Amino acid sequence: MSTAAYINARLIDPASGLDSPGALLIQDGQIIDLGPDLFANGVPNGMEVVDCGGRVLCPGLIDMRVFVGEPGAEHKETLASASEAAAAGGVTCIIVQPNTEPVIDDVALVEYIKRQARDKAVVRIHPMAAITKGLKGEQMAELGLLAEADAVAFTDADRVVADAQVMRRVLSYASAFDLLICHYPEEPRLAGSGVMNAGEVAMRLGLPGIPTQAETIMVERDLRLVEMTGGRYHAACLSTDQAIEAMARGKARGLKVTAAAAVHSFALNEVAVGEYRSFAKTAPPLRAEADRRAVVAGLADGTIDIICSCHDPQDVESKRLPFELAATGIIGLETMLPLALELYHNGDMSLLDLLATMTVRPAELLGLRGGKLSPGAPADLLVFDPHKPWRIDEDQFHSKSKNTPYHGRPVQGRAWRTIVGGKVVYSDPDGDGN
């Protein structure tokens, strides 16, 4: 019987609104008890004790949008290396996207991901499965069978279901079984061959741009289809003022819709592209400052429910190319926490509300048991110092790929301990104490 007492912690549980000094007791991988009065008379003898030194103890983070190379592109990232990176970032559960080779569009691939994760990963890994076969946007995948095999939701990853009739059928079918459809909203013909946000910066650099309307139009279309079908819909990455306004209107109409924002959509703007910096080529693209501020406001008022890393590893060869030819995507598992904490340090969100976007909200949306501090819940936990200063260093990343635009950026807040099922899977090598 494995028992551990975490004492002298600042307990934060967004699910219950708890934010209080206290302690927490773990036994056999589950939370047994917690609260400000736990161990008021001292910890019983023979129990492992971890003194948190006043640090925050909260549910482990859940990242809803993670691209992993396995199977098919293991040189970019494996489930094992992604899980190590997640642990170092305080993430105890990652949801992998289906744009692998082969595509996760049948039960065998869902089973493969689950088996590999169980054998090789140090954090929990759940797969999303494809909406359409081969991610081609033409024929609906076997959503019912994939859900029975434990696919937690459905997405075509970074591709768009452009055919409105196909998306209507998908949402209608999904509504009958209460399945979640996660869609990357970008009108492909309008986006065209664009490689960054359309605007003055793109014009100055002579690069083809993606207009903000490409996102807005697709969100508006999808909301109308949700209204028609009653489906559950999640906008995977909102990045523009108008799309966020559309989502707010959809929620006001009572539609079953939610939205996420990638960290890069509020941590950077299009100026980061600089002189053709391919490490700042992202999806959705880095937008104008007004859109970046709109994402912050959308998170603060709850229009945007969830923060995700949009972790998308790319090898050096695919990034060190002319901007138009370079691969899209940046890694983010190890930088999601400190960059999200900038919203807290800047006074945009309370720590309780901020952590909700990365714990209880994704857990509830996906039907996962984690994301909360309560007796009987899995002991998937994060202990972190929200004020610890450090500088992002790509050489210290656990990910196999190093494609980050944040190298050298000073930040505050870092994981001190990451615990999955009661087991410590990451410990800050520079941390003090136990």
CATH 1.20.1250.20 fits 60-366, yes or no: no
- Confidence at 45, pLDDT banded by 50, 70, 90: confident
User: What tens digit of pLDDT does each residue of 361-415 get?
Assistant: 999 999 999 999 999 999 999 999 999 999 999 999 999 999 999 999 999 999 9
Q: What is the mean predicted confidence (pLDDT) over 104-114?
A: 97
**Residue 271, both tokens:** 């100026």
Beta strand pairing call for 124-127 and 154-155: unpaired
Q: What is the mean predicted confidence (pLDDT) over 273-284?
A: 97
pLDDT at 247 over 50: yes
Q: What is the mean predicted confidence (pLDDT) over 7-34?
A: 97
**In the prediction, which pLDDT does 390 show?**
97
Taking the C-alpha atoms of residue 182 and residue 154, their distance in angstroms, rounded to an integer, is: 6
pLDDT at 434 over 50: no
pLDDT at 290 over 90: yes
Find out whether 388 and 337 touch, Cβ atoms under 8 Å.
no
**In the prediction, which pLDDT does 430 show?**
78
Domain boundaries 3-57+378-427, CATH class: mainly beta
Taking the C-alpha atoms of residue 191 and residue 209, their distance in angstroms, rounded to an integer, is: 8
- Confidence at 42, pLDDT banded by 50, 70, 90: confident
Q: Where are the domains of the chain?
A: 3-57+378-427, 60-366
Beta strand pairing call for 423-427 and 306-308: unpaired
Mean pLDDT value across the chain:
96
Query: Residue 240 — φ and ψ, nearest 5°?
Result: -125, 150
pLDDT at 288 over 90: yes
**In the prediction, which pLDDT does 1 show?**
52
**In the prediction, which pLDDT does 43 show?**
86
Q: What is the mean predicted confidence (pLDDT) over 157-175?
A: 98
**Residue 381, both tokens:** 């936990």
Among residues of the chain, what percentage have pLDDT more than 70? 99
Dump the DSSP string for 71-137: TT-TTT--HHHHHHHHHHTTEEEEEE-S-SSS-S-SHHHHHHHHHHHHHH-SSEEEE-B-SBGGG-S
Q: What is the mean predicted confidence (pLDDT) over 139-144?
A: 98
- Confidence at 433, pLDDT banded by 50, 70, 90: very low
Find out whether 295 and 247 touch, Cβ atoms under 8 Å.
no
